[in-house]
A and B are shown apart, each in its own frame.
Chain A
Amino acid sequence: MAVAAFLDALAAVLAGTLLCAGMAKLAVPAHLSRAIGELAPAVGSRAVVLARVVAVAEVSTALALSAPAARGAGAVAGVVLGATFAGAGIVASNRGLGMPCGCFGRAGGRSLGARNVAFGFILAGSSALLLRVGSGGWAAPEGLPMLGTAATAVVLAGWLYQDMIRDLAPSLGLRGRKVLQSRGTG
């Protein structure tokens, strides 16, 4: 039971991460397409299409991992995606590429490299584990895994856009604080 619950949680975390990355890239594929263009100059203007394909693949994998009947297929897709990310990270590291990866649809940030290799291995390894041990369905009650995926995606989005949220929330960080109010915590 504990193993099944762990696998459920693992699948929800993977699916939430992929959902967040995929939907963000669907909305803003430009940054990933630039990284793809640097990684594989031969693709030219098709880099945007490739970025959207990656995004759709991530979202599809996330949905499959969240649906009990499709968990096995989602795990297979997770292995393939993980291997692709790791491969891209290794190639980019070897070539010393500097374009931000746009992995979550955002401008700036780190370029393709060690982080992508690490995430790729984690995704592929976890998906392989799900495929081997936990592809038979969910231990959690019906519907709960999808909520777990949604919760993971919301938390991740909140963390990714924390600067924007903090800046746009007028009550946070825009007002000065009393010096003497800091006595308690110094």
Chain B
Amino acid sequence: MLRGLRVPAIVLALCFAPAAGAAPQVELTPALGGWSRPDRTTEIGVRVRADTATRGTLGIAAGPQSVRTRFELAAGETLRLDIPVASGATLDATVELEGAPAERRPIALSLSESPLLGAALASGQSARLVGFHGVALVAGDLPRNASAYASLDALVLDEGTLRALDTRQLAALIGFAASCGRIALVSADPGAWRVLEAAAGCGRRMLVAGASLDEALGRLQDSLAEPAGGAVTAADLGALAKTGAAAWPRVVAALAVFFAAAALALIFVPSMPALLLVPLLATAVLAALLHAWEPRSRLVVWAEAEPSARVAQYQAWQQVQGLARGRLTMATLAGLGQPRPCDRHRSARLELDAGRGQLASVDFDARLFEPVALCYSGTFPVMRAFGVTAIGAGRVEVRNEGTLASPPGVFLAGGHVQDLPALAPGAAATLRLETGRPPQDAATRAALARTPYAGFGLLWPLQLDTVADAPADAAAWLFVPVAEAT
């Protein structure tokens, strides 16, 4: 009798026993279906869901650089992160959850040697372009960081995909368009076109549209005649973006003081042991100074916009010169977008703030005099519209065609620069080209180097009001190249 009741009793006990917490679920999904190209940036989507409160650490090693983030999850909460990382054949992810052993998960990427064409077509059609490797994508494959679009050389998408994108995906796509990404839109709806057209950089030469896939691909093929407009690099700006030598005078001064003190000691100190103390003390003081000195951070922001564009694309370089051998931590600037180490081949440990989903700091292995730099990029709206008209006799008229007054700036033409006065909306200034002077500073030299041949340039210094934590030694400029007079 009792034996007969045992089995139903066990079953009942199991049914009413408190359910044990299931192990947290961790999903790591590479963007763009895992497709990328060597030495490009891609994105790993991270989803962690736990039924019970937990905390943990997630790390992704990509070549010499690694990203790490610490997170805490409440019961039933899901962590969603989209982490931009350098591409590689295999990325090594490590998940450490409280009370569980560390779990290593390799993430395999498909690296294409040929240019990649991403085809995100909700219609299910397939896209082919000569010389490109086509990859079929769905809306969910598109990245949420604009920098991850570096994996693609061209993207063709249709209205259905555009509508299926979430806010962050749409912002990333707009960022891709603003950074002169090659995009073909299959849509007959002008509304869909306007979403990207307003932000597209490079004079919208990289953005094409067609009512059908064939038409869009044909226009994309034609646009390949236009060279890809790369972002401004530090090398393009010459001395402007060069790291300063702030540490050098300090070391020179410290060694000069030591040699002066040693020379005086040689003359005035009779005791040999006391004489030996001078270099020993100097060594200790110098070693302490190298670790105590605060590295000076420098920020350079360079923005460019077409004469009538509504967005400007910027690149920024935050540089620090190392003072001691060891770890140097650089906190990222909150007001600037897409922070990353400028040198992707340099060893660095990136710390991601899981709450904000943003990079918080980067640790470098630094040495004295060795510069380390973080790069930023992004777009911001501009309200300046200008027209340059040749009015004969070596004169040009620069007209403010925008709705806001413009501050004083610099006008560049023919290898010379001259002051451009502040202009009210609709106002114009007449400038004589022969009255220009040679460039006096690194900013105007950089702007002249980027001024189109036989064209003009307009340069304004910018206030970094939105970058609250910008270093004192920060400078920003907005450059508007004008290919030809109207």
**Pair from one complex:** no
